[in-house]
Amino acid sequence: MRKLILLFGLSMLLANCEVSEEKGLIVDKAMVVSARQEASKIGSEILKKGGNAYDAMIATHYALAVVYPVAGNIGGGGFMVYRANDGKTGALDFREKAPITAHRDMYLDSLGKVVKNKSILGANAVGIPGSVAGTFEVHEKFGTLPFKELIQPSIDLARNGFKVTEKQAKSINSATEKINKVNNYTTLFEKKWKKGDLLKQEELAKTLERIRDFGKDGFYRGETADLFVNYVTNLGGIVSKQDLEKYEAIWRKPISFDYKDHKITSMTLPASGGICLAQILKSIEPFDLSNIDHNSTKYIQLLTEAERRSYADRANFLGDVDFVKVPIDSLTDTNYINQRMASFSWDKATPSSEVSHGKVLGYESNETTHYSIVDQFGNAVSVTTTLNTGYGSKVLVKGAGFFLNNEMDDFSSKPGVPNVYGLIGSEANSIASEKRMLSSMTPTIVEKDGKLKMVLGTPGGSTIITSVLQNIINVVDYNMGMQESVNQPRFHHQWLPDIIKMEPNGFKKETKRKLNTLGYEILEKNSLIIGKVDAILVLPDGKLEGGADKRGDDTAVGF
């Protein structure tokens, strides 16, 4: 019943563009917010047992790989940003890599044209997964409970099954045709799913047991690696045993910067999130938002113009720093940013063609997932992980029961040709052997006065950065609570295409009309604003408030 009321509340909110002041779950000590109740619960139980946020990260990650196969994964990758209770911050890159034999033009035909869907669907789209290596890195550095205890609840869940939700049934059903097309056997996903059906994944349970028993080698070597490489090879892909054996997650220095009186820590390259977030927030900082209404014409104008300039830089400069030189300091320098914003005018939109050049195309349905964790010791963990689009390449490893990513599409297949999110890339993000593809993922942590304030992140492809941005501004500038902030209608601009994407019915007619007059083109479509923000706010009394995005089945659990 409570769920019904909440859903009703959200649809009323989106229909009437009223600000909901709804509170999220409030707890005293510790919390996990993720895309599924089962996963948040498993993570929270680990915390209750005395585990820390890093232990809970591992447990939550594997649980999502079972209960949220659209994006939760062992066949994908992601990024973690953390803030330990002593204030130290850090970041882990467990992003996928291009296979050793990958090369710049691998998605082009003999005439140099991009072959449709080759980087999106099937075995050719697969990057070398990083998730399992990521969890072992986290465990080695910070874990306190035995790994076996952290993964066992997910093994049980895979074996005994869980009930699919209504949204999930719809999501799986919409993917079965492609899953069927890509695989050479009938996978367990290929039936008509409905709410309440039990999904049991015995092959996945066995794969997770091999990870439990043999550690990282349970995935990157031995039986799992054999099944993985043989199947992908059978389907015409290029992943080799050597690719799997060589994969390493990498600890990186996160991007840290000040916004007003807050310190923001977010992911660095190969994720563009931290750099873009820094650019956009610094572009906005000189403007007095206390005189600008939330989601008003002026507000949307200001954010849009800052976003436009940042996404143009993203397309031109950003790529894997282990392969290309990226002028991170210059790009986030305040003088540089002020210069970029010098052409901004309240009187009319700056056309993207005047900011830089490019061409534009279409979209498909996407999924990634984010989870936020704060433990009873004060450690915070922010993780975004993905297979890229929903169910990734749709390849479900025969005999091992897990989906493989299609992260290769995040590379620029050809300079100037947009990827599935309409993002354009340059040489900096071209394909090379063992290179990491550029990401928009933005796991973020905010602190104030040296204390933890907020942990947040979201899926949403190119809209990830702008959804995280809007939630930071909602809380920092407009003083919203966490759930209230997550509930707000969102909009997005990414330089190209030169349009503002808006959640339908979330914005006033008059606001949209004024924006049109100023030269902004608006596209209202639900599927385009796909973020599901899962966040935690530390309240002034030290309690934690969860913000679980009701656009999905996302749930906060804690104590």
Q: Using CB under 6 A, list all residues that contact ligand DON.
A: 366-368, 386, 388, 407, 410, 439-441, 459-461, 464, 530
Query: Which tokens sit at 529?
Result: 């604003």
> Whose Cβ is closer to ligand DON: residue 388's or residue 471's?
388
In the complex, least distance from residue 347 CB atom to ligand DON, rounded to whole angstroms: 34
Task: Decide if 261 contacts 430 (C-beta within 8 A).
Answer: no
> Whose Cβ is closer to ligand DON: residue 58's or residue 269's?
269
Orientation of helix 37-48 relative to helix 147-160, angle to 10° = 150
Helical H segments across 190-246, by residue range: 202-214, 217-220, 222-234, 241-246
Task: Assign 522 to helix, strand or coil.
Answer: strand
Task: Assign 439 to helix, strand or coil.
Answer: strand
Peptide bond into 504 cis (omega under 30): no
Dist CA 201 CA 327 (whole Å): 46
> Whose Cβ is closer to ligand DON: residue 35's or residue 145's?
35
Which of 77, 36, 72, 33 has its CA nearest to residue 56?
A: 33
> Whose Cβ is closer to ligand DON: residue 301's or residue 440's?
440
Which of 205, 184, 193, 122 has its CA nearest to residue 389?
A: 122
> Whose Cβ is closer to ligand DON: residue 393's or residue 440's?
440
Which of 425, 426, 465, 451 has its CA nearest to residue 537?
A: 451
DSSP strands (E only) in 74-195: 77-83, 89-94, 162-163
In the complex, least distance from residue 532 CB atom to ligand DON, rounded to whole angstroms: 8
Dist CA 374 CA 391 (whole Å): 28
> Whose Cβ is closer to ligand DON: residue 26's or residue 249's?
249
Dist CA 379 CA 451 (whole Å): 11
In the complex, least distance from residue 398 CB atom to ligand DON, rounded to whole angstroms: 24
In the complex, least distance from residue 434 CB atom to ligand DON, rounded to whole angstroms: 17
Residue 360 region, left (φ>0) first, then alpha (ψ -120 to 50), else beta?
A: beta
> Whose Cβ is closer to ligand DON: residue 106's or residue 452's?
106
8, containing H or E segment: helix 2-16
> Whose Cβ is closer to ligand DON: residue 305's or residue 549's?
549
- Which listed residue (187, 265, 297, 368) is catalytic? 368
Distances (CA, A) of 177 to 15, 189, 352: 33, 10, 37
In the complex, least distance from residue 105 CB atom to ligand DON, rounded to whole angstroms: 21
In the complex, least distance from residue 188 CB atom to ligand DON, rounded to whole angstroms: 23
In the complex, least distance from residue 95 CB atom to ligand DON, rounded to whole angstroms: 8
- Pairing of the two strands 89-94 and 250-252: antiparallel
The verdict on whether 368 is a catalytic residue reads yes
Which of 277, 267, 272, 238 has its CA nearest to residue 428?
A: 272
Q: Which residues are catalytic?
A: 368
